Amino acid sequence: MTTTEEASRSDSVRGGGRATGGQAALVLEDGRVFRGAAYGAVGETLGEAVFCTAMTGYQETLTDPSYHRQIVVAAAPQIGNTGWNEEDDESGKIWVAGYVVRDPARRASNWRATTTLPEAMQRQDIVGISGIDTRALVRHLRTRGSMKAGIFSGDALADTDELLGRVTGQPSMLGADLAEEVSTDSVYTLEPAGDPRFTVVAVDLGIKTNTPRMFAERGVRVHVVPSNTSIDQILELNPNGVFLSNGPGDPATQDGAVALTQGVLERGLPLFGICFGNQILGRALGRDTYKMKFGHRGINIPVIEHGTGRIAITAQNHGFALAGEQGEQFDTPFGKAEVSHVCANDGTVEGVRLVDGRAFSVQYHPEAAAGPHDAAYLFDRFAGLMEGGPAAQRKGV
């Protein structure tokens, strides 16, 4: 664990004893209190309460860096029945600030499981709560919106007014600059199984493990670089294209990543972004971002591609979005751009692109970890784009 990660964890979690099944309380900033049993580690954790509608994939959810500083409420009623394994982590650790479940599985039953979910949470000091009415909690968050929250158990329990003061005193997610806290500290490379067709520089704003694997399956060498990498450092790697990853926090704080993206666009390099990367590309093209009421978090969210009418069922995890309307075209310093995708449920912008095709992004997760594979073709689309990119031309690819 890096120094940054240690500092981040100490800010959000105190206590850290083993769960005993004793009393626990979830306190929301509007004063609503849910009482249940300690789950995972015992102590105190603070974060933004959000809900995830995915019925499967809790291990991938908990290890997704995009959930940094968030207390995740599982909408699925039973959690933990497949245990915890050594293969499905989407990063090197659990990133959620806390976990809220209704009916924890009494035993893990899966041939790949090496431990249970609560044991994995205990080892990493993740404070959780179980046995509460998560349906009522999700309905409350849908009505009132995502909000500051805290989970308290063991010695961290106190009277409600004191707990509420701890909850309301924490920083807001609006204005939170978190990408550097989850990014890699140094460059690392994932090689494809055979000879590489292309080289991609992936800017790590909170990248998930499966994303470089998806590139490698398509013959792409991936250099994963820290979020604060400069355009000159990227060019030194002589890439065929640049990828902007998912990540946590408020995209309005990412002036450095926006400037980097503009540098990539100025040089005509093919560019592909997902989730947080979609918001960064949108900002680089002059669009504004805003905080959503309760966001999109799940693996069954329908998205419409404007140009083709194609509908994909997608995995998503975002609490911020780009401003815009379906099919809207607008001028940028890099040429005409358009809103390419929207959510079929609520019209939220789910993708933008330059009309000439050299840069595009989507708000969802085509790496599908966990989730449906409807959007995996976007990696092939990016590979096709790189066949005619500037670096490919220099190398004669």
Q: Which domains does the chain have, with CATH numbers?
A: 3-168 (3.50.30.20), 179-395 (3.40.50.880)
Read off the pTM.
0.91
pLDDT of residue 205 exceeding 90, the answer is: yes
Residue where the block lists tokens 């509007």: 30
Q: Which residues are annotated as a binding site?
A: 66, 247, 249, 276, 279, 317, 319-320
Give residue 197's Cα distance to chain centre: 28
Question: How far apart are alpha carbons 213 and 190 in whole angstroms?
Answer: 8
367 is annotated as an active-site residue: yes
The chain-wide mean pLDDT, for the chain, equals 92
| pLDDT tens per residue across span 268-292 | 999 999 999 999 999 999 999 999 9
**One of 29, 140, 275, 318 is an active-site residue; which one?**
275
140 is annotated as an active-site residue: no
- What tokens were used for 34? 């849910």
- What tokens were used for 353? 């692109």
Q: Which residues are annotated as a binding site for L-glutamine?
A: 66, 247, 249, 276, 279, 317, 319-320
| pLDDT tens per residue across span 64-111 | 999 999 999 999 999 999 999 999 999 999 999 999 999 999 999 999
Phi and psi at 264, nearest 5°, equal -65, -45
CA atoms in the 13 A half-sphere facing the CB of 114: 7
Using a pLDDT cut of 70, give the percent of the chain over it: 93
pLDDT of residue 117: 98
Among residues 165, 147, 142, 125, the alpha carbon closest in space to that of 45 is found at 125
pLDDT of residue 337: 98
365 is annotated as an active-site residue: yes
pLDDT of residue 389: 53
Residue where the block lists tokens 């004191």: 162
